[in-house]
């Protein structure tokens, strides 16, 4: 007899009861209490959490035209397996029946779940699709936020879905992934000297099939670098040279082994100096590739790892790219920059005109030795932007950040799976507090207002004695 694989999830939703009624007063001129920018895993989880908090008029805006293009899993991500443990709490937010394990076991059995070490990327994408559809999270695809500005106590959103429009929101959440923190970091040596058709960042679409028979140089040594080299070789590249600036590949997962629950849950309460030193330590240790990413590349005899090979120069020689790194010369046909992202609100077009008011870490500490970390925003306890001038830009508190630019403030690349358990409830609680406080008179009137009695006095009148 066929069974419903979603039975457990349906039962869990039944047991927690219907969604609370929207308690936020309707205000003329406000289209949305909360506008979530980004319809990937984080944006959808935030929408569900806000729904369960009784906060209505929430919209989710996603620039990608189609559901499968939202987020990274079916676009820029190339790993075979997720880099995080399968047991981590994800977008289920305390409801285990909505988690990956329950979903996977309902379809494949407990033994199948026990047999996997890490979650296959494509399976995770399938789970996220189910999560969005099962919970009926409405996402406005093909809608881009072009500009954001404060006006009369609310935030004006300039949107474009093929037609430009203006909408107003009380709160904004930037669930915009790595792009939302600033942009792709590509060394100027490459951008200034290598033609655009011979160069790509790992975040960009790459025609790996066109690299068949070609020599590829990958700059970087984190997981995305090994994955890019592996995909190139799987597609028939003649060889792939991975250039690591260190004398080793980072093998110590500093953020995972040192971020025990007490530190992780209370990270934001630590002093600025301590958080700054930890961020520098994490950055100095480097990003650790997973075992399967390394194994994927080293399985090919034509994969070559070069240590102590910092990028020094690049130029075109006839029809080939010549790279000098660590004193060595590499001639290749294509260069892949696995060089990460930078944080800078000024680089985000949607924040044009606002970024100069945002408090950065370099405004709080001496960041002369690490300009990269110093450019990260200094976020408040609810992941909100704070003003550089405490007497100005009060509207910044209404923009909450759930993307990796929160790394220095909160200790991990915010917006990834490991941050969901802690940060999504934190943001929702902060938004709830702010909205409640902003409408305090209306809520006071409601709490003191007259309500109909549950029963008439006649119900007990016959039992009254004297």
Q: Is 367 helix (H, G, I), strand (E, B) or coil?
A: coil
CB 337 within 8 A of CB 199: yes
Is the per-residue pLDDT at 17 higher than 90? yes
In a domain, 255, yes or no: no
Q: How many CB atoms lie within 10 A of CB 61?
A: 25
CA 397 to chain centre: 20
In Å, how far are 21, 50, 62, 206 from 55, measured between CA atoms?
8, 5, 20, 41
User: What is the band of 435 on the pLDDT scale with cuts at 50, 70, 90?
Assistant: very high
Tokens read off for 292: 């399967």
How far apart CA 239 and CA 435 sit, in angstroms, is 57
Evaluate whether 360 touches 390 at the Cβ level (below 8 Å). no
Confidence tier at 251 by pLDDT (50, 70, 90):
confident
CA distances from 261 to 255, 326, 410, 463 (A): 12, 40, 13, 58
Residues in the chain: 466
Question: Of the ranges 22-26, 287-291, 322-326, which one carries the lowest mean pLDDT score?
Answer: 287-291
- Segments in 242-384 forming alpha helices (H): 254-258, 261-265, 272-285, 291-298, 371-374
Torsion of CA 422, 424, 426, 432, to 10 degrees: -160
* Residue 386 domain-assigned (yes or no): yes
| Domain match, 292 and 417 both | no
Note whether residue 269 is domain-resident: no
Mark whether 178 and 195 lie in a shared domain: no
Q: Give me the mean pLDDT over the 306-331 stretch.
A: 95
Residue ending a domain, choose from 301, 319, 339: 339
Residue-number span of the structural domain to which 350 is assigned: 7-182+342-442
Answer whether residue 413 shows pLDDT above 90.
no
Q: In this structure, what token pair is assigned to residue 412?
A: 């991990």
The residue-averaged pLDDT of 413-438 equals 92
Burial class (CB in 10 A: 0-12, 13-18, 19+), 400: buried
The phi-psi region of residue 257 (left if phi > 0; otherwise alpha if psi is between -120 and 50; otherwise beta) is alpha
Statement to judge: residues 379 and 246 lie in one domain: no
Which tens digit of pLDDT belongs to each residue from 356-366? 999 999 999 99
Q: Are residues 14 and 93 in the same domain?
A: yes
Read off the CATH number of the domain in which 291 is found. 3.50.50.60
Whether residue 314 sits in one domain with residue 190: yes
Mean pLDDT of 384-409: 95
Q: 76-87: per-residue pLDDT in tens?
A: 889 999 988 888
Average pLDDT on 201-223 reads: 96
Residue 164's alpha-carbon distances to 158, 242, 269, in angstroms, are 7, 44, 42
Query: Is 266 part of a structural domain of the chain?
Result: no
Q: Has residue 131 been placed in a domain?
A: yes
**Each residue's pLDDT tens digit, 290-314:** 899 999 999 999 999 999 999 999 9
Interacting residues of 58 by C-beta distance below 8 A, sequence separation 6+: 32, 33, 34, 35, 36, 47, 50, 51
* Domains contained in the chain, number: 2
Residues 41 and 157 in one domain: yes
> The tokens of 7 are what?
């039975």
Task: State the alpha helices, DSSP H only, in 220-343.
Answer: 223-234, 254-258, 261-265, 272-285, 291-298
What percent of the chain clears pLDDT 90, i.e. is strictly above it? 82
Q: Other C-beta atoms within 10 Å of 386: how many?
A: 19
Is residue 414 over pLDDT 80?
Answer: yes
327 and 358 within one domain: no
Please check whether residue 236 is in contact with residue 370, taking contact to mean a CB–CB distance below 8 angstroms.
no
Question: Residue 75 — very low, low, confident or very high, per pLDDT cuts 50/70/90?
Answer: confident
Q: Is residue 239 assigned to a domain?
A: yes
Percentage of the chain lying above the pLDDT 70 cut:
98
Higher local confidence (pLDDT), 161 or 285: 161
Q: What is the pLDDT of residue 254?
A: 54
How far is it, in rounded angstroms, from Cα 163 to Cα 153? 26
Q: What is the pLDDT of residue 323?
A: 97
How high is the pLDDT of residue 255?
53
| CB 137, CB 60: distance < 8 Å | yes
Q: Are strands 182-184 and 399-401 parallel, antiparallel or unpaired?
A: unpaired
pLDDT digits (tens, 9 = 90+) for 44-73: 999 999 999 999 999 999 999 888 888 888
Q: How far apart are CA 60 and CA 40, in angstroms?
A: 10
CA 191 to chain CA centroid, Å, is 26
DSSP, res 82: -
Q: Where are the beta strands (DSSP E) in 378-431?
A: 399-401
Strands 341-343 and 399-401: unpaired
CA 131 to chain centre: 17
Does residue 115 form part of some domain? yes
Does residue 246 carry a pLDDT above 60? yes
For residue 277, is pLDDT > 80? yes
Claim to verify: residue 116 and residue 146 sit in the same structural domain: yes
Assess contact for 398 and 353: CB atoms under 8 A.
no
SS3 343: strand
Does 16 reside within a domain? yes
Q: What is the pLDDT of residue 213?
A: 97
> Are 319 and 411 found together in one domain?
no
Token reading at 178:
């790595």
Tell whether 346 and 334 lie within a shared domain.
no
pLDDT of residue 252: 64
The per-residue pLDDT for 88 is 84
Q: Is the pLDDT of residue 1 over 50?
A: no
The pTM score is 0.94
pLDDT band at residue 29 under the 50/70/90 scheme: very high
Mean pLDDT across the stretch 277-284? 90
């Amino acid at each position: 007899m066929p069974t419903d694989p979603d039975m457990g999830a349906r039962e869990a939703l039944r047991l927690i009861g219907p969604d609370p009624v929207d308690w936020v007063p309707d205000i003329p001129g406000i289209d949305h209490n909360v506008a979530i920018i980004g319809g990937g895993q984080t944006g959808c989880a935030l929408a569900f959490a806000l729904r369960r908090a009784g906060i209505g008029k929430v919209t989710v805006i996603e620039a990608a035209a189609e559901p499968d293009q939202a987020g990274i899993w079916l676009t820029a991500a190339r790993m075979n397996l997720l880099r995080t443990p399968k047991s981590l709490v994800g977008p289920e937010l305390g409801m285990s029946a909505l988690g990956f394990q329950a979903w996977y076991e309902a379809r494949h059995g407990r033994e199948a779940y026990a047999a996997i070490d890490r979650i296959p990327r494509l399976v995770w994408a399938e789970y996220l699709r189910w999560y969005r559809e099962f919970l009926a999270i409405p996402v406005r695809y093909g809608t881009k936020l072009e500009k954001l500005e404060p006006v009369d106590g609310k935030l004006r959103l300039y949107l474009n879905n093929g037609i430009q429009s203006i909408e107003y929101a009380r709160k904004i959440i930037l669930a915009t992934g790595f792009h939302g923190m600033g942009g792709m970091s590509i060394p100027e040596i490459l951008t200034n000297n290598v033609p655009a058709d011979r160069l790509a960042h790992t975040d960009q679409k790459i025609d790996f099939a066109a690299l068949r028979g070609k020599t590829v140089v990958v700059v970087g040594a984190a997981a995305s670098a090994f994955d890019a080299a592996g995909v190139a070789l799987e597609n028939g590249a003649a060889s792939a040279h991975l250039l690591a600036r260190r004398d080793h590949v980072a093998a110590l997962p500093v953020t995972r082994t040192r971020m025990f629950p007490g530190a992780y849950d209370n990270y934001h309460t630590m002093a600025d100096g301590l958080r700054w030193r930890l961020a520098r330590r994490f950055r100095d240790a480097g990003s650790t590739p997973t075992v399967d990413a390394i194994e994927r590349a080293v399985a090919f005899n034509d994969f070559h790892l070069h240590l102590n090979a910092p990028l020094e120069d690049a130029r075109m020689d006839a029809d080939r790219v010549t790279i000098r790194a660590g004193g060595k010369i590499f001639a290749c046909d294509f260069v892949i920059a696995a060089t990460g992202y930078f944080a800078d609100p000024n680089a985000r077009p949607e924040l044009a005109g606002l970024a100069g008011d945002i408090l950065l870490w370099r405004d709080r500490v001496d960041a002369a030795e690490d300009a990269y970390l110093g450019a990260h925003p200094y976020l408040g306890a609810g992941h909100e932007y704070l003003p550089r001038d405490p007497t100005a830009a009060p509207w910044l508190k209404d923009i909450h950040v759930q993307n990796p630019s929160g790394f220095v403030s909160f200790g991990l690349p915010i917006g990834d799976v490991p941050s969901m358990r802690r940060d999504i409830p934190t943001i929702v609680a902060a938004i709830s507090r702010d909205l409640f406080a902003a409408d305090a008179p209306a809520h006071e009137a409601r709490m003191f207002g007259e309500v109909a009695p549950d029963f008439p006095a006649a119900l007990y009148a016959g039992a009254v004695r004297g």
